[in-house]
A and B are shown apart, each in its own frame.
Chain A
């Protein structure tokens, strides 16, 4: 998903198309707002407050601001979506119009798209926010809008809890949309078309989530996104709009009515959407059911048409629960109805038809650069659409007995679906086209610093975060290497080797050091690293000239007062500095001295101060949840762990240790960063640390919610 979103960032052209309509230098506002938004990577009340105030002060630029926020919510990595939702919540509640109206247009897809990709804990926070909307003191969104969001939330729930059901949830929702009276927004032709596009986009994104290797869907999303921009920026004639919608209709996957989804109550009582009954978690019927034609304003081909969709259709789950199938899970299902149905236009053809008709309608004139790009994409779409693993179907049936599929993870399934590879010199030579899929196809996350791919698993994002943290530490230590040296340590003895575990990346555990019999090695490695850094700071020397220069910066002091300041000693501990002669540079220098904002400190004293301040701030931040009324005061310590439990003895390291370590890193970071040398890597760590703090907060929220449910 990480990659996926990066792509979105690259391809998302959306916002830039509107700002021409603005009157008050929207570009400047937009730039400013976007910059601010970019820092909203964790749940920070101050940032949200300041962004809310900025929105209130710049009502004239409201559509630009809304665009920027929407873009941020769509493009932010799943782990960073929640703060943006909090921002929207804060703006609509505290500023109100015109933002209510502006967000009202897109909130359904905005909310659901984000909701679909975030993890379980974040979802309950999303639901909490949603739960506050219907009962807010002022009318926020229409009943219809909130009903649609609730419905979508429920569909996503069902779809994803029904053990990897491949059912795109949206159409159910879609039907309801059509059947319901329209919201008072006033549906213009463009609006309906936009919603169709967004809906289709969401379906494709769902398909991508279910099957990240689905290149076809990924390309279609890009194209749809561009189409969306075109529709937003162009005044379409009703005929054109209709034509596009008809084309789109062919791409939308019909969904059987859910196993009797209870009618969604327009308002939720407790802020939590009702969970679907357990029985409805069963996989949906394997065949697509004809959908209610009355609910749709345009013609939908019979269900057989959709048999060849490039992403897994509703018969996917059936294939998975069967005993070993010859299809790798990523291969598209082959629908048995295909033969009986009238020859359907393959989706690729449908897509190119779409573009053909767009061309005909003159919407995509040959002169527009955008249209050329679209055509190019259409070509790609055609290429991407055929079954990604054409040879998979010809593989022999798997004869190796394997345990029920749900016990194995996707990776294992992929490997086993290749069919047994015999360890004979002949069989080992045979080329298996699906083999590469196992190595390159399924994992959705890849580290851009070293090529590491994170195997597809529920905890993939956490693993990848841990991996990136590890990179950060390595890079930081690498950067520090001029300051302090590293050495190879002695190897442990046999018994220790047998019983020690290296631990996974998430623990960032360094190898066990040699036991010298002293107590020092009992402290953790990061403690040791910290000690080393302190020692390095103590020994570091700064020349008199440099210190004087720093002190005189900005004309605060003269050289003589600066020298006097140095002579006075550290501003924190008041002790004098140690003066030494630097042989190499042939000048007088001071040990352990540094100047920050024209004040001289011991580097160690200053680092200490920064560290304790930072700890306070971090704790304060962790306790603040903006725009949410319900925060229970006595918070139980979250028990959820950061990494999957391993049998390793090191893995038993308690979470509080991990936190300590993080804080240490954070403070070290500030030590380094205080010399105004903030680079990207450091920002990365701040981000990831804050995200962890935020996750802790999430855990607590979730626990609180659970408690609330239990007490009812």
Chain B
């Protein structure tokens, strides 16, 4: 941004329990500074007189005690609201915290709460997850964040099911932090466990989704058995907004696999009533929370931009902590490109993003490298050998991006997150495409 465009900082004075909601376009940067009072963004407290910079975000700055904020830059939307469901969100956290205290005293087999957050799209499930996790972290807990929303990929990339142990505060600028970088992330460097699903909706391959869900739950459970702090702190599960029959099936599956004992239904009366009827029993609570008025519908173009931003950040980092990816040439015959589903393959680039051919099988198909890989984001499997069905359930080592295809020389130019050879040869092809700008 040039100097001419930089407007004067705008001052906002918020009363207690008010919230400033701002939306920032992808091509602008906005600086935020807390001058006096206290304020938090999705549960993470802001430091006073520290500049935070945002781009392409929709955020709410909430204050419990009242505060003065300075906003520098142009927001596409900015207003403050006095009515928020924050009191109930805080109570929710405290109720979970009480269960953690009880767990650390040996009750409930020493297990902290396993919380599942369900609700339709755009009710603030991820924001609520962040808040509950942040509040937990603020009280020295080490919860595990399970992200089952394959359309977004808060931690790694869209198309994944992940579990991430959190030990440090969630960075307000970088969200959940960037996974495992050698970079000077100001936020937490987290180490997610990611399984590759490869479709935007659980509906696209429900069978595979459920297989991966069970695998993820098993790994999380194994870790919890060893990790005392995480066990006491419990897990928070963020879900996809699917609430039809398939959605219900997945929710039921999830409750079973993760031994969920707290179900939070966000902003949907009928879903709450159904969840109460289907799942409430001794030891399982179903709670309804209101959605925040600040939650905005994210249209498909916003989601796509967010997705692109996510991919870009995976390779290049954020303005605050830049990363250097490496470009390398790979021979066709040095890699195996795999895909779940039917054999015949039309380039998925021929289909609009978000739509894919329906596949129902969980068998693995080899894909010949070729022009159709151009601009694809491929997931690198940690598997060492091609063995079905194990390879499906093998977690990911990371992602690469195909920037060029040299059909004549049978080579690919790929962008790898870090220098050195790409560690594994089995790469998953999904529907994820990215046009590097």
- By a beta-carbon cutoff of 8 Å, the part of chain A in contact with chain B is 400, 402-403, 407-408, 411-412, 415-416, 418, 420-425, 427-432, 435-436, 438-440, 447-453, 455, 457, 473-478, 480-481, 485-494, 497-505, 510-514, 516, 529, 646-648
> How distant is the Cα of A513 from the Cα of B171 in the complex, in angstroms?
22
- Beyond A438-B139, A486-B323, 9 extra complex contacts between A and B, CB < 8 Å: A403-B106, A415-B97, A418-B94, A418-B98, A423-B285, A428-B289, A452-B169, A473-B184, A481-B321
B228 touches A424 (CB 8 A): no
List the B side residues contacting A647 at CB < 8 Å. Answer: 226-229
Are A481 and B184 neighbours in the complex by a CB distance under 8 Å?
yes
Residue on A nearest B421 in the bound complex, by CB:
A516
In the complex, which residue of chain A has the Cβ closest to the Cβ of B107? A401
Cβ contacts under 8 Å, B347 to chain A: none
Among B132-146, those with CB < 8 Å from A are 135, 138-140
Which of B98, B167, B189, B289 has the largest number of chain A CB atoms within 10 A? B98
Name the residue among A411, A415, A451 with the largest chain B CB count within 10 angstroms.
A451
User: Which residues in B have some Cβ–Cβ distance to A below 8 Å?
Assistant: 38, 44-50, 64-65, 87-88, 90-92, 94-95, 97-98, 101-102, 104-106, 135, 138-140, 165, 167-169, 178-186, 189-194, 219, 222-223, 226-229, 262, 272, 285, 287-289, 314-315, 317, 320-326, 380, 382, 394-398, 417-421, 423
- Nearest Cβ distance between residue A624 and chain B, in whole angstroms? 35
Residues of B close to A477: CB separation below 8 A: 183-184
B169 touches A511 (CB 8 A): no
* A648–B231 CA distance with the chains assembled, in angstroms: 13
Q: Which residue among B88, B106, B421 has the maximum number of chain A CB atoms within 10 Å of its CB? A: B88
Question: Which residues of A sit under 8 angstroms from B135, Cβ to Cβ?
Answer: 439
Contact assessment for B191 and A448 in the assembled complex, using a CB-CB cutoff below 8 Å: no
Distance in angstroms from A681 CB to nearest chain B CB is: 12
- B102 contacts across to A, CB distance below 8 A: 400, 402
Tell me which of B169, B180, B185, B219 contacts A491 (CB under 8 A): B180
- Nearest CB in chain A to that of B167: its residue: A502
> What's the minimum C-beta distance from B157 to chain A, rounded to whole angstroms?
11
11 A-B pairs with C-beta separation under 8 A: A421-B91, A451-B47, A452-B169, A481-B184, A487-B183, A487-B418, A497-B193, A503-B167, A511-B189, A646-B228, A647-B228
Q: Are A493 and B91 in contact (CB under 8 A)?
A: no
CB B77 to nearest CB in A, in angstroms, measures 25
Identify which of A416, A504, A512 contacts B167 (C-beta below 8 A): A504
Main secondary structure, interface of A, reads loop
**Which residues on A sit within 8 Å (CB–CB) of B90?**
435-436, 439
**Given A400-B98, A439-B64, residue A511 in contact with residue B324 (CB < 8 A):** no
Chain A residues lying within 8 Å of B168, measured Cβ to Cβ, are 502, 505
Q: Which of B186, B229, B325, B417 contacts A474 (CB 8 A)?
A: B186
User: If A423-B287, A478-B321, A498-B219 touch, does A490 touch B398 (CB 8 Å cutoff)?
Assistant: yes
Given known pairs A474-B185, A489-B181, the reply for A451 and B48 (CB within 8 Å) is: yes
Q: Which one of A415, A450, A455, A500 lies within 8 Å of B98 (CB-CB)? A: A415
B318 to chain A, nearest CB (A): 12
Known: A400-B102, A494-B219. A488 touches B314 (CB 8 A): yes
A420→B395 CA distance, assembly (Å):
40
Q: Which of B91, B181, B325 contacts A432 (CB 8 A)?
A: B91
**Assembled-state Cα–Cα distance A400/B99 (Å):** 10
Other-chain residue from B191, B285, B287, B420 in contact with A512 (beta carbon distance below 8 A): B191
Asked if B382 and A491 make an inter-chain contact with CB atoms under 8 angstroms apart, the answer reads yes
* Chain B min CB distance to A352 (Å): 25
Q: Complex formed: what's the CA distance from A422 to B228 in Å?
A: 25
Q: Complex Cα distance A428/B89, Å?
A: 8
- Nearest-CB residue, chain A, relative to B49: A448
Contact A435–B323 (Cβ < 8 Å): no
Shortest 9 CB-CB distances between A and B: which pairs?
A477-B184, A485-B324, A486-B183, A487-B418, A423-B285, A451-B47, A421-B95, A488-B417, A451-B45
Q: How far is the CB of B269 from chain A (nearest CB, A)?
A: 11
Given contacts A412-B101, A423-B262, A439-B64, contact A489 B417 (CB under 8 A): yes
Once bound together, how far apart are the Cα atoms of A430 and B59, in whole Å? 26
B417 touches A511 (CB 8 A): no
Determine the chain A residues whose CB is within 8 A of the CB of B229 once the complex forms. 646-647
Roughly how many angstroms separate A411 CA and B141 CA in the complex, as a whole number? 11
CA distance A586 to B428 in the complex (A): 46
The answer to whether A491 and B323 touch (CB under 8 A), given A412-B104, A423-B262, A647-B228, is no
Q: Smallest CB–CB gap between B54 and chain A, Å? A: 15
In the complex, how many angstroms separate the beta carbon of B124 from the nearest chain A beta carbon? Answer: 16
**Do A498 and B226 have beta carbons less than 8 Å apart?**
yes
Known pairs A487-B181, A491-B398, A493-B395; A421 contacts B98 (CB<8 A): yes
Min CB–CB distance A429 → chain B (angstroms): 5
Asked if residues B91 and A487 are in contact (CB atoms below 8 Å), the reply is: no
A418–B97 Cα gap in the complex (Å)? Answer: 11
Question: Once the chains bind, are B184 and A498 in contact (CB under 8 Å)?
Answer: no
A403–B417 touching, CB < 8 Å: no
Nearest Cβ on chain B to A617's Cβ, whole angstroms: 28
CA distance A432 to B223 in the complex (A): 35
Select which of B91, B179, B420 is within 8 A of A435 by beta carbon.
B91
User: Contacts of A529 on B, CB cut-off 8 Å?
Assistant: 182
